[in-house]
Amino acid sequence: MDSPDPLVWVDSHCHPQLDATTGDPEAVLDRARAAGVAAMVVVGTDLATSREAVALADAHGDVFATVGLHPHDAGRLGDEWAALADLARHPRVVAVGEAGFDYHYMHSDPAAQEAAFRAQIRLAHALDTALVIHTREAWDDTFGVLTEETLPSRTVFHCFTGGVPEAERALALGGALSFSGIVSFKNAADVRAAAAICPADRLLVETDSPYLAPVPFRGKENEPAHVGAVGEALAAAVGREVAVVAAETAAAAARWLGVTVKRV
């Protein structure tokens, strides 16, 4: 009897260029491949990390890049925007972002966050590319700006931390939801409930590494090799087989982020 095909995962949002354990993103990518990760979307949060994301994507066919300005770094808009907008036109860039609001730490003034968010939404529209959203404790402002600017046709709410009401609003606007290791946390019942109502064709999985390591890796630095553990928790939340969710989330990454998925 033939052995079953191995699971194929896509990490739709990771930051190997921020790896602090070894300082070696190439080693991070190699460990991910060994763990069955077929593709990774490496996300920029400012000009420097966006350039690093593009360099990794240029060097590896299974790596794709985003270019963006995280709300924590929104104050850099004036200094970095022209170069970021130019870099977003690179052929290995699949999305603008991560962009949005973060009112938990408030590292940037809300007005600066809004200006950077609007600029990135408009760039995604202009380039007809995907938009990756970061929103934390700022749902009303996030939805308000998105309604005014209108969603790009492919918009992913990354590291979704809301419950069912927020998921319903995001889905009603036409977005997709990406779930991180938070879905495995004991106190994240609302996030699991949100995952359970998400249509399969709008469901993505991510590590957001090096942050938010899933169970059973809590307390350690996260990495794309752990996306399978996130996927297992996500499968439990949505009530489907792990292999089914692996295939669904890989297909969604292809649909929403333009990721080319090859079997490993």
CA-based max dimension of the chain: 61
Q: Classify residue 55: in a domain, yes or no.
A: yes
- What are the tens digits of pLDDT across the range 135-190? 999 999 999 999 999 999 999 999 999 999 999 999 999 999 999 999 999 999 99
Question: What is the reported pLDDT for 262?
Answer: 73
**Tokens of residue 15, six digits:** 């930051």
pLDDT at 263: 57
User: How many beta carbons lie within 10 A of that of residue 183, not counting itself?
Assistant: 27
Secondary structure, 3-state, 151-185: CCCCEEECCCCCCHHHHHHHHHHCCEEEECHHHHC
Structural domain range at position 153: 14-257
Measured from the Cβ of residue 119, the count of other Cβ atoms closer than 10 Å reads 18
Helix (H, G, I), strand (E, B) or coil at 23: coil
Residue 100 lies in a domain: yes
Query: Residue 61: helix, strand or coil by DSSP?
Result: coil
pLDDT at 82 over 50: yes
Mean pLDDT of the chain: 95
CATH, residue 166: 3.20.20.140
- The answer to whether position 134 is within a domain reads yes
* Residue 62 lies inside a defined structural domain of this protein: yes
Q: Answer yes or no: are the C-beta atoms of 113 and 71 closer than 8 Å.
A: yes
User: What is the predicted pLDDT for the residue at 264?
Assistant: 45
- Would you say residue 3 has pLDDT above 50? no
Mean per-residue pLDDT for 56-80?
A: 97
62 near 262, Cβ under 8 Å?
Answer: yes
Q: How many CB atoms lie within 10 A of CB 163?
A: 17
- Residue 59 located in a structural domain: yes
Residue 107 domain-assigned (yes or no): yes
Residue 8 covered by a domain: no
Helix (H) / strand (E) containing 28: helix 25-34
Residue 26: is its pLDDT beyond 70? yes
Mean pLDDT value of segment 120-126: 98
Residue 9 lies in a domain: no
**Number of domains composing the chain:** 1
Asked if 25 contacts 210 with a C-beta cutoff of 8 angstroms, the reply is no
Q: Convert the pLDDT of each residue in 6-18 to its tens digit.
A: 789 999 999 999 9
Is the pTM higher than 0.85? The answer reads: yes
What pLDDT is attached to residue 5? Answer: 59
Residues 183 and 158: beta-carbon distance below 8 Å:
no
